[in-house]
C-alpha cells in the first residue's frame, strides 16, 4: 500500500479549485491569504509587483478554468453513453496536458518579470499553500492517514462497482501506476528542495525545467494508465474511477465543513450560556 505522504500529495491536487466550487467555503478569504503569502515569500520589489500580478492573475484564471472544465466533464459521466465515455476519457487527458502546457507557457512569462529564484519560490508556495489547506481539512474532519486511505479505497471500489474478480486485477495495476507517480512526486520534492541560497540562476532554471518535465511524465503515465484500465474494466468503470477521485475530495471537504459548523454552533451555545449566568 502507498505511503501516507503520497496519498496527501494526490489529495491536495487542485484542492483550492474544489473548495472554490462551493459558495460557503470563503474563496475570497482563501485567495487573499494566498496573495499575502506569495507577496511575503517572493519579496517583490515595487517595480516587479504590477507586472508580476498581471501575469499571475492570467495564469491563475487559465489554470482554474481548465481544471473546472475537467470537473464539469466528470460530473456528466454517469449519464454518458459508452462512446461518450471513451471520448470523455480522451478529453480528460487533453485537459491534463493543457494544464502542463499552461505551466510551461507561464514559466517563461514569470521569468521575464521576476527572477528564476522568485519563480521557484512561487511554485513552492503554491504547493505548500494547498498542502496547508488540505491538512486543515483532514484535521478538521477528524481523520488520520490510514483511515483516510482505507475509506478512499472503499469509496472508489463502490463507485466503480467492482466485482471481486475485477478488484483482484485492478488494484495491483493501480498500485503499480501509483508507484510511478510517487517516484515522480518524490523527484519533484527533491528538485524543489535542491535550490539553495547559493544556487545560480542557471541551476534554478534547470530545476524549473525538470519540474515541468516531471509534470509531463505524470500525464504520460495517465495515458498508459487509462489504456491499461480499459483492458480490465468497462469504460464506464474507468470513467467513474476518475470521477470518484474528485467526489471523494468533495466528500471529505463536506464533512469538514459540517463539523466546522457544528463546532461554531457549539461555541455560540456556550457563549450564550456564559452570558445567561
* 6-46 confidence digits (pLDDT tens): 444 444 444 444 444 444 445 677 788 888 999 999 999 99
Residue 168: which pLDDT band, with cuts at 50, 70 and 90? very high
Q: Quick one: average pLDDT of 114-127?
A: 94
pTM: 0.78
| Helix ranges (DSSP H) in 194-234 | 201-230
Integer Cα distance of 192 and 204 in angstroms = 9
How many whole angstroms separate alpha carbon 138 and alpha carbon 109? 35
Q: Do 187 and 215 contact (CB within 8 A), yes or no?
A: no
CB under 8 Å to 275, separation ≥6 — which residues? none
Grid cell of 154 as nine digits: 472503499
Q: How far apart are CA 22 and CA 41, in angstroms?
A: 28
Higher local confidence (pLDDT), 15 or 106: 106
Question: 80-93 pLDDT, tens per residue?
Answer: 788 888 888 998 89
Least confident span in 9-13, 80-84, 124-128, 207-211:
9-13
> Structural domain boundaries of the chain?
4-193+203-252
Q: Give the residue with greater pLDDT, 79 vs 270.
A: 79
- The end-to-end CA distance of the chain, in Å, is 54
Residue 269 has pLDDT above 60, yes or no: no
Amino acid at each position: 500500500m502507498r505511503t501516507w505522504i503520497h496519498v496527501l500529495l494526490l489529495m491536495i491536487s487542485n484542492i483550492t479549485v474544489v473548495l472554490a466550487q462551493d459558495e460557503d467555503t470563503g474563496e475570497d478569504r482563501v485567495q487573499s491569504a494566498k496573495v499575502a503569502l506569495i507577496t511575503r515569500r517572493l519579496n517583490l520589489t515595487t517595480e516587479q509587483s504590477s507586472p508580476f500580478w498581471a501575469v499571475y492573475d492570467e495564469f491563475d484564471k487559465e489554470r482554474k478554468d481548465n481544471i473546472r472544465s475537467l470537473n464539469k466533464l466528470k460530473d456528466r459521466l454517469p449519464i454518458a453513453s459508452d462512446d461518450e465515455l471513451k471520448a470523455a476519457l480522451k478529453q480528460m487527458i487533453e485537459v491534463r496536458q493543457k494544464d502542463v502546457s499552461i505551466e510551461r507557457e507561464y514559466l517563461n512569462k514569470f521569468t521575464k518579470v521576476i527572477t528564476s529564484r522568485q519563480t521557484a519560490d512561487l511554485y513552492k508556495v503554491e504547493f505548500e499553500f494547498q498542502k496547508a489547506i488540505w491538512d486543515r481539512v483532514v484535521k478538521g474532519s477528524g481523520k488520520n492517514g490510514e483511515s483516510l486511505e482505507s475509506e478512499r479505497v472503499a469509496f472508489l471500489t463502490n463507485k466503480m462497482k467492482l466485482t471481486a474478480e475485477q478488484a483482484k486485477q485492478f488494484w495491483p495495476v493501480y498500485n503499480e501506476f501509483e508507484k510511478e507517480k510517487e517516484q515522480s512526486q518524490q523527484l519533484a520534492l527533491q528538485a524543489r528542495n535542491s535550490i539553495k541560497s547559493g544556487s545560480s540562476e542557471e541551476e534554478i532554471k534547470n530545476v524549473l525545467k525538470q519540474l515541468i518535465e516531471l509534470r509531463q511524465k505524470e500525464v504520460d503515465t495517465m495515458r498508459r494508465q487509462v489504456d491499461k484500465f480499459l483492458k480490465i474494466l468497462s469504460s464506464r468503470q474507468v470513467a467513474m474511477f476518475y470521477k470518484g477521485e474528485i467526489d471523494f475530495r468533495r466528500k471529505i471537504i463536506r464533512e469538514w465543513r459540517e463539523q466546522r459548523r457544528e463546532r461554531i454552533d457549539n461555541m455560540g451555545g456556550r457563549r450564550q450560556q456564559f452570558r445567561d449566568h
